[in-house]
Structure 1
Amino acid sequence: MVGIAALKAPTPAVASTGKSAMRSRRVAVSCRAQNQDLSFDSIKRRAAAAAAAALIVATPLCAVANEFDLLANGTPDSYILDDASALNKTTKKSVGDALQELERETGYRVEVATVRKLEFENDAFVFGDKLVSKWFPGATDKRGLLLVVTAGKDGALTGGDSFMKAIGDDLIDSVIGENVSILTEEEKYNEAVQSSVNRVVAKLTNKEDPGPPIRVERQRKRTYKTKGETARTKTATSTIVLTLLGISVVVPMLQYYGYTNKD
């Protein structure tokens, strides 16, 4: 009996050891789960950071895409490259037909290009020269370009030697300084392009120049009263107040007088 009791005595220790082992395994499993959760959160944070970085990097590229699109184009197969999406279908057809007829009659080919913003070459004329050289390598003499920069409210009229000589500096300055400048300030891009092309076509076909648009000065409406207007208002107000006071005093007196006479 003593031997049996001696053998059974260690049982609580074994049970305790088993429970400790189970707790250890549970702690280990819990730690692994927490580590997995932390790892997953870390991955999510890294992915979000990468996405944000991609947006930051992509934003400037989107802003300058228009400029590079024009430079990347080969020789245009049409007369209008509306990269800024500023022109409607009516203007595109009208201008395209006029420039096609101009090339057929005179041999001068004039392109119209719109761009939203110039990022790397702020001078529209320099950028225009680059486009002409890129689009018509070795054959720029009778080639011209009307460039309109919508965000900068600016533009350029440039081209090969024969084109520039036929157009003349005065018309170039007038078209860019008046047609493009005035009308783009009012965000009338269709009218700016149409009126500019009309003047270029008229010059190259020896017709009368339709002239630049007229700048309309907007007069600001006065929202305040002058000293004289204020004084007149005060006088009128005082007169009305005194009249009402007089009526409020005289009418009761007359009524009282009428009642006393009846008696």
Structure 2
Amino acid sequence: MCAPASATGVYDIPNFNSDTWVIDQGEVINRANEGQISNTFADLAQNTGKQVRIVTIRRLDYGETTQSFTEALFDKWFPTTEDKANQVLLVIDVLTNQSAIATGEEVKSLLPEETAESVASETLLVPLRDGNKYNQAFLDSTDRLSKILSGEADPGPPEVNNNISVEGNFGKVEGEERSNAIAWIVGLLVAATIIPMATYYIYLAVQPSSNS
């Protein structure tokens, strides 16, 4: 089966030069933020020897997963274990918002697999669940990776549970208030209709009969 024309394969991604830190084929990072990310990674490489690159793609080839694509691109760019040693590659498919990360052996002491996966699945993806905030997602991921690989404390993934809970409670309260308001309005309308009618019938009932 042929891949769609817009699908991206590993060999559609160009080789990078030493100043390439971001390849944004998905076109989701604005120029100012791409520059900021590139500067952060350039400083990291100069200060620590650790190198991080970000790739965004529009769509994967048929049968490809984000993880298999990332591993294949990692192998293409860094063919040997020595080449891979100090490298990190973070990839996202913007069609599905599926992400993956690959790391070299010398990076793992600072960035173990669990933490790397947290960057790819939490730090990168949480802002995307709140309105596809790609720029925020990549700025947050860049900040976290640069701190970890510089030997600083891991700031951790975004905290979202409390925000989600609060928003959910607000939604529930607002819904309950709206239901109570509707109930009051219906009650008042019913009362406005029934009370005058009841009063009228009571009035007729207590009037003397015209035959008396």
TM-score (norm 2): 0.74
1:112 corresponds to which letter in structure 2?
A: I
Of the two structures, which has the highest relative contact order with CA contacts closer than 8 Å and spacing of 6 or more? 2
Match in the other structure for 1:113: 55
Structure 1 CA distance for aligned equivalents of residues 28 and 142 of structure 2: 16
Mark the CA change 1:158 to 1:206 in structure 2 (over 3 Å): closer, same or farther. same
Structure 2 counterparts to residues 55-204 of structure 1, below 5 A: 60-65=3-8, 68-70=11-13, 73-76=14-17, 77-120=19-62, 122-138=64-80, 139-185=83-129, 186-204=131-149
Q: Check whether the contact 1:121–1:127 (CA below 8 A) recurs between aligned residues.
A: no
Q: Deviations over 1:128-154 (max 9, x none)?
A: 121122112331111111112211112
**Overall identity of the aligned pairs, in %:** 20
Larger Rg computed on CA atoms: 1
In the TM superposition, what are the counterparts of 1:214-229 in structure 2 within 5 Å? 214-215=159-160, 216-217=163-164, 219=168, 222=175
Give 1:63's aligned amino acid. S
Change in 2 beyond 3 A, CA 1:63/1:167: same
1:195-247 CA distance string (max 9 Å, x none): 11111111111223233223343535649975x76654433113323566699
- AA aligned opposite 2:88: G
String of CA shifts for 1:84-117, please: whole Å, max 9, x gaps.
1110012101100000000001101111111122
Output one character per residue of 1:43-73: Cα deviation in whole Å (capped at 9) or x when no partner: xxxxxxxxxxxxxx8xx54221465421xx2
TM-score, normalization by structure 1: 0.61
Separation in 2, partners of 1:229, 1:98:
53
Q: Structure 2 counterpart of 1:116, which letter?
A: R
Q: Which of 150, 155, 165 in structure 2 is aligned with 1:205?
A: 150
Aligned equivalents of 2:199 and 2:9: distance in 1? 76
Report the counterpart of residue 53 of structure 1 in structure 2: none
Residues 242 and 178 (structure 1), Cα distance of their counterparts in 2 relative to 1, 3 Å cut: same
CA RMSD of superposed structures (Å): 3.1
